[in-house]
Amino acid sequence: MNTLFDFLTIPPLITLGTDALRLLLSFALSIFIVNIYQWTHAKVPQKSFTDTLIILCMLISVVMVIIGDSIARAFSLVGALSIIRFRTAIQDPRDIGFVFYALAVGMAVGAGNPSVAILATFLIGIIILCIYHWHQRFGNDNEFSLEFCLPPDPNFENIYRSVFDKHLIYERLLEKRIKKSQMVELTFRVKLANPQEWLTFFTELSRIENVTEVKMDKE
């Protein structure tokens, strides 16, 4: 019976206020992280990913509060969270960095180190912005993200190989997936020998028979 009363006892208002402030702080810092991500992302960010960064930051702060100094709770939570299976693969390593960015800030807030959380959030964010502007100013102008679709064929590489060999000095296949239409969608990172000929490369690739939905974006 005493255990039940202890469980139903309302925590002091000071404790509730402190926990609420931690959640609000993790929310505010996660908003800053999301803004940094949006400012420095090459493409339009997925709302589901930016929302996930906010949720992760807040949830991890809650998890750290629950764990406290209890090793038993830590192992229990690890066991409980291990049953979760993530079906969405993160293709860009940079996105993984932002996931850990949000996790680390949430852990610092939940562990009762708000000064570390605030300092890390702003300092890391400023460094990311500096790196982004460095790439914008001194980056290679001949690197592009390339996407196009092909019909399913075990020798599909022969279809576009002549154009690639003519214009590219570097290529890397990032993703290959089958669309609902049964077409094969390929995503490359490519580097042109002459960045001024990107339109010629795009046109020649688009004119190849069976090559459809060609998209080319600046890296």
pLDDT at 89: 61
CATH code given to domain 143-218: 3.30.70.260
* Of 77, 205, 58, nearest in space to 146 by CA: 205
pLDDT at 7: 46
List, for residues 52-88, the tens digit of each pLDDT value.
899 989 988 888 887 776 676 666 666 555 555 555 5
Domain edges within the chain: 11-82+90-138, 143-218
Higher pLDDT pick, 157 / 162: 162
- Whether 180 and 192 have beta carbons less than 8 Å apart is answered as no
Query: Looking at the predicted structure, is the pLDDT value of residue 17 above 80?
Result: no
- In this prediction, residue 30 has a pLDDT band, given cuts at 50, 70 and 90, of very high
Q: What is the mean pLDDT of residues 203-217?
A: 86
Maximum alpha-carbon separation in the chain: 80
> What pTM value is reported for the model?
0.59
Q: What is the mean pLDDT of residues 150-162?
A: 81
Rg (CA), the chain: 24
List, for residues 169-204, the tens digit of each pLDDT value.
888 888 888 887 788 888 888 888 887 888 888 888
Alpha helices in 41-156 (DSSP H): 47-67, 71-81, 93-110, 114-138
pLDDT at 191: 85
Quote the CA–CA distance of 121 and 146 in Å, as a whole number: 33
* Of 64, 54, 52, nearest in space to 24 by CA: 54
Higher pLDDT pick, 20 / 116: 116
Q: What is the mean pLDDT of residues 142-166?
A: 83
In terms of phi and psi (left: phi > 0; alpha: psi -120 to 50; beta: otherwise), the region of 126 is: alpha
